[in-house]
Amino acid sequence: MKIKVIHGPNLNMLGVREVNLYGPMKLEDINKNMEVVAKQNGFDIEFYQSNHEGDIVDAIQESLNEGVDGIIINPAALTHYSIAVRDAIAAVNLPTIEVHLTNISRREEFRHKSLISPVVAGTITGFGPFSYHLGLIAMMQILNEIKMAKEAKEK
Ligand code: DQA
């Protein structure tokens, strides 16, 4: 089973960007850690980052042709205003988990609203890079449950 991880605008700058908020860890190290855990559990995983809204929409849509079973997404700033990203997630209708490094509810008021949360299975926010790990654990659980339900039906 394949998981696609999508990172939104400015997340390529982790480790450099507002380290007081987002921490010192680089995106490639977050990805490497997720890759180890996914592989250990028998899942394929791929990663995508873009600073462009349309490219994020394309990456979500392309999941359908790539055999992707579930999406983990940190939409970054797009969380708070992108109806296009929200609609793409709803359109592909794959199990999706939203993650944030920071607790968006504790930050500026404009970050309190997520347009993405209503179309995802769940949201993990506020645990730094560990949010991605928790998102991965949750996604593997969801996909294992789907697999077991399918197998039970085939019996
Ligand atoms: C973020 C929170 C967003 O509000 C912000 O625009 C980001 C990162 C997070 O991971 O905490 O770029 O998604």
Considering only CA atoms, which of 36, 24, 29 is closest in space to residue 7? 29
The answer to pTM > 0.95 is: yes
* pLDDT tens for each residue of 113-123: 999 999 999 99
Q: b or e along 70-96 (b: 16 or more beta carbons within 10 Å of the residue's beta carbon)?
A: bbbbbbbebbbebeebbebbeeeebbb
- Give the ligand 1 atom nearest the CA of 126: 11
Q: For ligand 1, say whether the CB of 101 is within 6 Å of any of its atoms.
A: yes
C-beta 100 within 6 A of ligand 1: yes
∠ Cα 49 20 127 (to 5°): 65
The active-site residue, picked from 48, 52, 80, 100, is 100
All residues at 6 or more sequence positions from 11 whose CB lies less than 8 Å from its CB, including other chains: 27, 49, 74, 76
Note the pLDDT tens digit of each residue in 49-95: 999 999 999 999 999 999 999 999 999 999 999 999 999 999 999 99
Active-site residue flag, 100 = yes
Q: Which domains does the chain have, with CATH numbers?
A: 2-154 (3.40.50.9100)
